[in-house]
Amino acid sequence: MKVLYSRVSSESQNEERQVQKTEGFDYVLVDKCSGLIPLWERPQGSQIKKLIDSELLTHLEVHSIDRLGRNTIDVLSVWKELTEKGVMVVCRNPSLRNLDENGKEDKFSQLMMSILSTMSDFERSLIRERQMEGIRLRKEKGLYKGRQIGTTESTERFLLKPKNQEIVKLLERGLKYSEIQKILGCSPNLIRKVKELS
C-alpha cells in the first residue's frame, strides 16, 4: 500500500504544494496541526501507524523530510523505525529514500537525510537566537517593553494563536495536561487558561 503524507501547521494553510502527482497512491493523508506533535500522535499520522502495525504499508512518500518530525531526533527515529520495518520512505524535495529497489538501505540518502535534519534543527535555533538578540538590543535602547501591564487581549485573539489552537485540539482528544505540556512545551497555566476560555 502506498501513502502520500502531507502536513501544514493550521487549517488556513493550503497543502496543495505538497500533494502534487498523487496518481498510484492508495491514500493521500493531510494533517493540519503543529509539527511539534509527534507523527504518530497526529490524526492522520496515527492512521499511518495503524497501516504499519497491520503490515499493510509498503511505501510512504512526503514532500520534504521535515514532515516526519520537527527536530532531528524525531525525524531520525521515524526514518529508522520505518527502515527496520521494511517500509520505503521517499522524500521528494530533495530526492531521498531509505531503501533501494532491492530493499537495502540507501546509504547516500541516509547520510543526506541526517545532514538535512541537523541543518534544519540548526536553522531553527539560529532564528530563535537572532530573535532573542534583537529583543535584547531593543530593550537596551528602551524600544522593547513587551506587553504592557494592565493591557488585555481579547478571548478570541488569545484562542486564535496557533499554540492555543493546538491545545484546544489536544484537550478535545482527551489528553492530560502533562501530555500536552510534553507535546507542545507549554505551561499548565496556559493549558488551564485555554480550557477555561474555550
Name the strand (E) or helix (H) holding 96.
Answer: strand 96-97
Q: Is 154 a catalytic residue?
A: no
Region for 99 from its dihedrals, namely left if φ exceeds 0, alpha if ψ lies in -120 to 50, beta otherwise: beta
81-90's contacts with Cβ under 8 Å and 24+ in sequence apart are 82/52, 85/52, 86/58, 87/52, 87/57, 87/58, 87/59, 87/60, 88/58, 88/59, 88/60, 89/60, 89/61, 89/62, 90/59, 90/60, 90/61, 90/62
- Contacts for 15-23: CB closer than 8 Å, 24+ residues apart: 17/63, 18/62, 18/63, 18/64, 18/67, 19/63
Q: Give the mean pLDDT of 91-106.
A: 87
- Kindly name the residue from 6, 9, 114, 187 that is annotated as catalytic: 9
Indicate if the pLDDT at residue 26 is higher than 90.
yes
Q: Is the pTM of this model over 0.85?
A: no
For residue 19, give the 3-state DSSP assignment.
Answer: coil
Please state, rounded to an integer, the average pLDDT across all residues of the chain: 85
- DSSP-assigned beta bridge partners for residue 5: 29, 62
Q: What per-residue string of b and e applies to 117-147 under the rule 16 or more CB within 10 Å gives b?
A: beebbeeeeeeeeeeeeeeeeeeeeeeeeee
Higher pLDDT, 9 or 62: 62
What are the pLDDT digits (tens) for 66-90? 888 877 778 888 988 999 999 999 9
Cell matching residue 126 = 539560529
pLDDT digits (tens, 9 = 90+) for 32-61: 888 888 899 999 999 999 999 999 999 999
Residue 15 CA to residue 9 CA, distance in Å, equals 10
Average pLDDT over every residue of 119-132 = 80
> In DSSP terms, which residues pair with 3 in a beta bridge?
27, 60
